[in-house]
Amino acid sequence: MEAGYDTRAMRWTVFTTGFLLAAALIIAIGAQNAYVLRQALRREHIAAIVAFCIVADVVLMTVGVAGLANVLGNAPVLTTALTVGGAVFLAWYGIQALRRALKPQSLQAAPGGGSLPLRAALAQVAGFTLLNPHVYLDTVLLLGSVGARQPADLRGWFVGGAAVASGAWFSSLGFGARLLAPLFAKPSAWRALDTLVGVTMLALASLLLIQQLR
């Protein structure tokens, strides 16, 4: 009974780690989120755009965890380096978010112009997603390095948590845009959001370093 309880607790911990890390990385003012919000306000192909963003995230996260897991398994020094590097990046990202919170800006995503064909909309969101180097840094390297450190039988739970975060965020952003747009037109809303992201990033960076020192 005790072993079963520990297993369930560990699964939940790993799942939550993946969820929180992915959420902290995804929820930020950026080109991809601005584009999703803009298309949502225009009510153009939002289901396809949201689906693309989620699938792209899951594929990149899975490749990162699976690929780095094989590499890191035989390279403990590299594992340590990536962990420390990931912690440093998280701390930097968190500080940047807190700095943005000091000077928040509203997100401009006003509708306008003609109707955009589905193929063009998907091409544009693919560009915002796959041509952004931060996407690979976040999903493949950072999330991958953290996921690869999890026990082999729990890496799926880590990816699952990250996937749920991605699905929840893009679905909320896309399908709830008309409710969120008036709120996030206010700098104070972005101040609160960036503060939350910054604190979460710094907390995760601390956890990584503590885990490495054990």
Residue pair 18/147 in contact (Cβ under 8 Å)? The answer is yes
CB 28 within 8 A of CB 135: no
User: With contact defined as beta carbons under 8 Å apart, do 36 and 174 qualify?
Assistant: yes
What residue type is assigned to position 72 of the chain? L
CB 158 within 8 A of CB 69: no
Model pTM above 0.75: no
Split at pLDDT 50, 70, 90, the class of 59 is very high
Helices and strands: H and E segment counts in the chain? 10, 0
Question: Which residues are CB-contacts of 109 (< 8 A; sequence separation ≥ 6)?
Answer: 34, 37, 38, 41, 181
The closest alpha carbon to 108, from 174, 187, 44, belongs to: 187
Closest alpha carbon to 68 in 143, 148, 139: 148
**Domain residue spans of the chain:** 2-213
- 115 versus 23: which is more confidently predicted? 23
Indicate whether 3 pLDDT > 50: no
pLDDT exceeds 60 at position 43? yes
pLDDT range class, residue 57, cuts 50, 70, 90: very high
- CB contact set of 201 (below 8 Å; sequence gap of 6+): 24, 90, 91, 93, 94, 97
Q: Are 202 and 91 in contact (CB under 8 A)?
A: yes
